[in-house]
Amino acid sequence: MIMLIIGELFVLCGIHVNSTCFLMELREFNNQVHPPPDYPSPHGSQHSLRLRTVPAQDTNANQFDWASPAEDAEDSNEPRNLRELPLHMGLKKAVWQVQQMRVPVVSSSWNIKQSQTFRRFCEVVKYILSYFVLWKRGIQRIGGHFGGGVQSYFLFLRFLVILNFLSSLLIAAFVLIPSIVFRSMNLNSTIAPTVNLTDEEICLQYDPKPGVLPVFYTYFLDLVSGTGFMEYSYLFYGYYNNSVIESNSFSYNIPLAYLLTAAFYFLFCLICTIIRMGDTARLVVVTGGGAVGGYSMLVFTGWDHGLQGNRATKLKQNNLRHRLQVDLEEERLKKKSASLTLGQTVSLYTLRVFLNLVVLILIGATFYGIAKATQFSQSMNPTGFMGLLLQYLPSMVITASNFVVPLLCDKIALLEKYSPSTTVILALLRAVFLRLVSLGVLLYTLWEQITCKGDISNENCKPCHYYYDQYKCWETRVGQEMYKLTLFDFLITIATLILVEFPRRIVVDHCSCKLTQLVGRQEFLVAPNVLALVYSQTVVWTGALFCPLLPFINTIKFILFYYCKKITLFQNCQPATRNFRSTTSNFFFLLVLLFGWALSSVVLLYSVAKIHPSYGCGPFRLNSAMWDVVPGAVKMLNHTSEEFLFYIGSQKFSIPLFIFSCVLLCYVSALTSVHGKSVTLLKSQCKLEQRDKQFLVRQIEELNAKVQKEQREPQQPQRETKPLNHTATQWNQHYNYAFEPDEEPRPY
Amino acid sequence: MGGTSSKLPKDLLSEYQELTFLTKQEILMAHKIFSELQDRENGPYSSRVSMEKVLTLPELKSNPFRKRICHVFSTSDMKDGSLSFEDFLDLLSAFSDSATLEIKSHYAFRIFDFDDDGTLDARDLEKLVNSLTGETDDTRLTAEEMRQLISNILEESDIDKDGTVNLSEFQHVISRSPDFVSSFKIVL
């Protein structure tokens, strides 16, 4: 259902875009059909056609008069917004004065004044809101010096910071603060246990040793691994009580609040991501998914006018030249490779299949390594420094693989001989797959351990439906794993900064041997950095149910990331030589974020619905599944609300809704294809009009030549023929396309 | 220092807000910077700032299209690229955050039209590519590459096959680019 809604959103954006392009083309087409006067005399079209026949004689004619479109604009019925007229200020003022004089006559003057005041109000509001935009100046400066690609990373980071901050406010308001309040007021009214707990008494044992005064050394270990004093605190699930407060006019059900807050948090993140995707999706639909080899697009839109400073300009020029040369080279190679023999093609494809297998084996080996590391670290319980290392073993394996495997994949991709653009996309896809699935493998291994591979009849899991011996409070353990992953990720980033990037810059700047010049300064690679952000965010989403303060920790982590990355960018990095298509990649990164969200929502749904909550801890300790608080709460509502909720959840409602969504999707995609077809039709019409115009001009020119020849032949036989010949040859150079069969509209 | 710290009258300010895409703060900032440029002019006070002085602004100093930008926005009769304050506002308005795609593409076309004849022909395109890649000999494309590139560009964007790119063909190409609006931006 969610995928349907997402699909409809994209198609709607596509229609909007197509109709805007369609309208813009129509407007421009109209401007072209009544040819804009080429010369300062803005009379009818015939005049300009005639004048066109003798361009060489009139030297003033070379200056195209851009002021003339004003007359066209005046004649049109709709009063255009003055700013959108491409005239200089003097002319705009004149037009404005004319409009002002006309306004009292027209009865809609009040409307115009109202729209003006509304616009002013919007500007004031926008100005005030711009003060609240986080890091606006900093990100602008980054864009100016390093270009749009790097800026998109920081914009993405800012989006995640705001998302995490709002989520932590949400969780604090509905879960954390009520818990603190109720605990401090010592209101411990719990629901009476209705289950006979004679067998399960063993499951109730949970003793995380709170209140013992720890040694400083163990204090630090506990802080970093989430055990000891950290375990039994508001950080983790286990500390929250299943209190249900029902005083005179006020009732608050903590378990229900906990569950609903988690669900709402996920929905909120989904909606924010989709809204942000909607903006970029619109642009992606316009370009048709990123035109590769669009030389005209590169040349016309390639320059970034926001760049400042000689260094940035030179780098951008190098960048553009490099891209143009690479694209031209690619085209030449493509022409050459289209003539590959059968044997060469077959060998190339077998090589590619083999290398893909190698990549899959590498990734498979990584997953195996992660699974083994997780099992090993979960099964041991040593203390001290070794214990800490062992606890961080899964995180270390994941981070190491995330670093090593993409490097190997890059080297392998060089052998595969794809075009450069395909190589980049393939590398990104492989990196994404590696990161998200390795997290999935970790979670799967945990699940295996906790629920004895889902087998309830296993003797370890029999009484409590989970492995009670090792996991007295399994939710807290999962939360601890996510907490460790987040912390480790942060530590590794800071360590890389301090131990790798700064020394590299110092070495490159001061030592001028060939090796250092070859390696050069660090380049800020956008794609791996963004994937790291997506990975951290997925970890936070997965852990939010079990570690409610994790979004807050993540907010602080990302804020520190911003400052650290900015410092390293300006101090250590050079701009990327390979350009980065910011908008299509923005869309891709948000898509990957959505995949991460999907993974963590699977985890959420499974733990809420299927796994038995711990008996000894947490707000759901007496339910057989976390979801059970909801039906219980629904029963306590009044009759009509209960009926309404049951109806919405039943099949009687969801199946018609699904069918209706399918119908809407079909309608909207049909609309898109119709608009696309009209755009193609208009394009070919435009071509035909131009050909007709050329043909007519040629005819007129020939007639003119004949007439002038007849007129002037007795007087000046020499003088007129030269320019006429010149213009005749000029037009003859353009083959008369009106008589050519229609060619296929060029696919753009 | 020149001391002509004249304030912008309120009615002019609201008129400029109406006629450009700039906010009040941006117009005031532009006025301040323009007054500083006027102060630094050698010679008698005039309402126009010469092109050399305008090109000392950090935002324009290293832009390869700086001279073309000044020529396009200048309304001077002597065609020397000098800018009055209103020309300066027009410049900033076209390069501002909220300017529409039509305005930006219109002015981009005029900036790229090096010989001001209303169309981009092969010579304009060659000059354009040279500005993009760098003006020195070792940063230009080779003649062969240039030829291949220009024929590719004309093949892609010249719909009516007259050998030049006119305004609507240019705008058609621009409309398909997602990054144009954000890259055609100069913020003081």
Higher pLDDT, A81 or A642: A642
CB distance A301–B174 less than 8 Å? yes
- pLDDT at position A106 is 55
* Of the candidate ranges A40-54, A376-390, B29-43, B172-186, the one whose mean pLDDT is the lowest: A40-54
Across residues A323-348, what is the average pLDDT?
A: 79
Residues A506 and A590 placed together within one structural domain of the fold: yes
Question: B37: distance to nearest CA of chain A, Å?
Answer: 19
- As a whole number of angstroms, the distance between CA A147 and CA A43 comes to 46
Question: B19: distance to nearest CA of chain A, Å?
Answer: 5
Residues A614 and A579 placed together within one structural domain of the fold: yes
| In a domain? residue A713 | no
CB distance A328–B145 less than 8 Å? yes
Determine the residue of chain B that is closest to A311 in CA distance.
Answer: B62
Q: How many other C-beta atoms lie within 10 A of the C-beta of residue A421?
A: 15
Distance of CA B183 to the CA centre of its chain: 13
Across residues A658-682, what is the average pLDDT?
A: 91
Residues A343 and A490 placed together within one structural domain of the fold: yes
Question: A310: distance to nearest CA of chain B, Å?
Answer: 6
- pLDDT at position A202 is 67
Q: pLDDT tens digit string along A76-87? A: 434 457 788 888
DSSP conformation letters of chain B: -----PPPPHHHHHHHHHHSS--HHHHHHHHHHHHHHHHT-SSS--S-B-HHHHTTSHHHHT-TTHHHHHHHH---TT-S--B-HHHHHHHHHHTSTT--HHHHHHHHHHHH-TT-SSSB-HHHHHHHHHHHH-SSGGGSPPHHHHHHHHHHHHHHH-SS-SSSB-HHHHHHHHHT-SSHHHHS----
A187 shares contact with chain B (CB less than 8 Å): no
| In a domain? residue A109 | yes
DSSP code of residue A190: B
Between chain A and chain B, how many beta carbons pairs sit less than 8 Å apart?
Answer: 207
CB distance B102–A88 less than 8 Å? no
C-alpha separations of A455 from A201, A210, A413, A463, A637 in Å: 21, 33, 42, 12, 36
- pLDDT at position A575 is 62
* Of the candidate ranges A42-56, A276-290, A405-419, B164-178, the one whose mean pLDDT is the lowest: A42-56
Which of A633, A665, A690 is at the close of a domain?
A: A633
C-alpha separations of B3 from A707, B10, B41 in Å: 67, 21, 13
- pLDDT at position B8 is 80
| In a domain? residue A722 | no
- As a whole number of angstroms, the distance between CA A733 and CA B162 comes to 10
Residue A575: φ, ψ to 5°: -65, 155
Q: pLDDT tens digit string along A33-66? A: 333 333 333 333 343 333 333 333 344 445 666 7
Q: pLDDT tens digit string along A504-548? A: 888 877 877 777 766 667 777 788 888 889 999 999 999 998 888
Residues A657 and A613 placed together within one structural domain of the fold: no
Give me the interface pTM, i.e. the ipTM.
Answer: 0.91
Residues A113 and A178 placed together within one structural domain of the fold: no
CB distance B160–A324 less than 8 Å? no
Q: What is the mean pLDDT of chain B?
A: 86
Q: In this prediction, what percent of chain A has a pLDDT beyond 90?
A: 12
Domain that holds residue A33: 1-39+48-132
Chain B residue numbers touching A90 (CB-CB < 8 A): 75, 86
Chain B residue numbers touching A682 (CB-CB < 8 A): none
CB distance A690–B156 less than 8 Å? no
Residues A471 and A493 placed together within one structural domain of the fold: yes
Higher pLDDT, A712 or A382: A712
Please check the confidence at residue A186 and state whether its pLDDT lies above 50. Answer: yes
Residues A513 and A627 placed together within one structural domain of the fold: yes
Would you state the torsion angle of the CA atoms of residues A697, A700, A701, A706, taken in this order, to the nearest 10 degrees? 170
Sequence-ordered list of residues with C-beta below 8 angstroms from that of B73, at least 6 positions apart, any chain: A88, B83, B87, B88, B90, B91, B94
Is residue A520 within 8 A of residue A576, CB to CB? The reply is: no
Question: B134: distance to nearest CA of chain A, Å?
Answer: 6
| In a domain? residue A547 | yes
B130 shares contact with chain A (CB less than 8 Å): no
Chain A residue numbers touching B129 (CB-CB < 8 A): 299, 324
Nearest CB among B134, B165, B168 relative to A29 is that of: B168
Chain A residue numbers touching B165 (CB-CB < 8 A): 296
Sequence-ordered list of residues with C-beta below 8 angstroms from that of A730, at least 6 positions apart, any chain: none
Nearest CB among A288, A325, A581 relative to B145 is that of: A325
CB distance A297–B133 less than 8 Å? no
Chain B residue numbers touching A295 (CB-CB < 8 A): 149, 152-153, 156
- As a whole number of angstroms, the distance between CA A716 and CA A69 comes to 39
* Of the candidate ranges A67-81, A345-359, A630-644, the one whose mean pLDDT is the lowest: A67-81
A102 shares contact with chain B (CB less than 8 Å): no
Q: What is the mean pLDDT of chain A?
A: 75
Would you state the torsion angle of the CA atoms of residues B116, B119, B125, B130, taken in this order, to the nearest 10 degrees? 20
- As a whole number of angstroms, the distance between CA A237 and CA A222 comes to 17
| In a domain? residue A185 | yes
Would you state the torsion angle of the CA atoms of residues A556, A558, A564, A567, taken in this order, to the nearest 10 degrees? -120
pLDDT class of B160 with cuts at 50, 70, 90: confident
Q: Which of B74, B175, B180, B184 would best serve as a mutation to test chain A binding (most A beta carbons within 10 A)?
A: B175
- As a whole number of angstroms, the distance between CA B52 and CA A706 comes to 52
CB distance B156–A294 less than 8 Å? yes
Please check the confidence at residue A12 and state whether its pLDDT lies above 80. Answer: no
Higher pLDDT, A119 or A40: A119
Q: How many other C-beta atoms lie within 10 A of the C-beta of residue A403?
A: 12
B97 shares contact with chain A (CB less than 8 Å): no
Among A484, A602, A488, residue whose Cα is nearest residue A542:
A602
pLDDT class of A134 with cuts at 50, 70, 90: confident
Chain B residue numbers touching A320 (CB-CB < 8 A): 132-133
Work out how many domains chain A is built from and give that number: 3
Please check the confidence at residue A17 and state whether its pLDDT lies above 60. Answer: no
CB distance B132–A301 less than 8 Å? no
Q: Which of B73, B159, B186 would best serve as a mutation to test chain A binding (most A beta carbons within 10 A)?
A: B159
pLDDT class of A311 with cuts at 50, 70, 90: confident
* Of the candidate ranges A686-695, A696-705, B90-99, B147-156, the one whose mean pLDDT is the lowest: A686-695
CB distance A297–B173 less than 8 Å? yes
CB distance A331–B148 less than 8 Å? yes
CB distance B171–A24 less than 8 Å? yes
| In a domain? residue A147 | yes
Higher pLDDT, A25 or A463: A463
C-alpha separations of A211 from A181, A217, A233, A275, A471 in Å: 20, 16, 11, 46, 21
Please check the confidence at residue A694 and state whether its pLDDT lies above 70. Answer: yes
- pLDDT at position A423 is 74
| In a domain? residue A236 | yes
Residues A602 and A653 placed together within one structural domain of the fold: no
- pLDDT at position A268 is 93
A698 shares contact with chain B (CB less than 8 Å): no
Residues A519 and A667 placed together within one structural domain of the fold: no
Residues A487 and A591 placed together within one structural domain of the fold: yes
- pLDDT at position A189 is 52
B172 shares contact with chain A (CB less than 8 Å): yes
Chain B residue numbers touching A83 (CB-CB < 8 A): 18-21, 93, 99, 103
Which of A625, A654, A681 is at the close of a domain?
A: A681
B11 shares contact with chain A (CB less than 8 Å): no
Higher pLDDT, A656 or A123: A656
| In a domain? residue A737 | no
Across residues A338-343, what is the average pLDDT?
A: 77
Residues A591 and A464 placed together within one structural domain of the fold: yes
Q: In this prediction, what percent of chain A has a pLDDT beyond 70?
A: 75
Chain B residue numbers touching A323 (CB-CB < 8 A): none
Sign of CA dihedral A277, A279, A280, A283: positive
pLDDT class of A619 with cuts at 50, 70, 90: confident
- pLDDT at position A211 is 54
Among A186, A424, A176, residue whose Cα is nearest residue A290:
A424
Residue A243: φ, ψ to 5°: -80, 140
Residues A601 and A618 placed together within one structural domain of the fold: yes
Higher pLDDT, A69 or A561: A561
Instruction: Tell me whether strands A573-574 and A522-523 are parallel, antiparallel or unpaired.
Output: parallel
Q: pLDDT tens digit string along A582-615? A: 556 778 888 889 999 999 999 889 888 888 888 7
